[in-house]
Amino acid sequence: MGDDGVKNEAMEILGLFQVLPRLVVFDLDYTLWPFYCECRSKREMPSLYPHAKGILYALEEKGVDIAIASRSPTPDIANTFLEKLGVKSKFVSQECLPLYQKL
């Protein structure tokens, strides 16, 4: 099933609910893509899980904001991958924090 098929299926499921959340927040590693960023190189071309992009598009079309909250020892790689995948601009907020950053 391609992105459009997944999006249509997600739209159908979301249509079953009278009230949707205003915001959905995603982690990155093993949530949107099937790997840990620290095990990859910026030079690689990443891939999302097969259904991820369609779901993101459906949420966006239904007016649900989407954001990222993720911790990683390599937030620079995570940001590069979001750019390469063409989805970075879809998120209203992006917090990719270094794994060992003091709060």
The predicted-structure confidence for 52-99, as pLDDT tens digits, reads as follows 999 999 999 999 999 999 988 889 999 999 999 999 999 999 998 776
29 is catalytic: yes
Domains of the chain: 3-98 (3.40.50.1000)
* Torsion sign (Cα): 83, 87, 92, 97: negative
The one catalytic residue in 4, 29, 65, 76 is 29
- What's the rounded Cα separation, in Å, for the pair 56 and 89? 11
Chain segment 21-56, per-residue pLDDT in tens: 999 999 999 999 999 999 999 999 999 999 999 999
- What's the rounded Cα separation, in Å, for the pair 60 and 90? 8
Instruction: Judge contact between 86 and 39, C-beta under 8 A.
Output: no
List Cα–Cα distances, 33 to 11, 12, 29, in angstroms.
Answer: 21, 23, 6
- pLDDT interval class at 103 (50, 70, 90): low
The one catalytic residue in 4, 27, 65, 76 is 27
- What's the rounded Cα separation, in Å, for the pair 25 and 98? 18
pTM strictly above 0.85: no
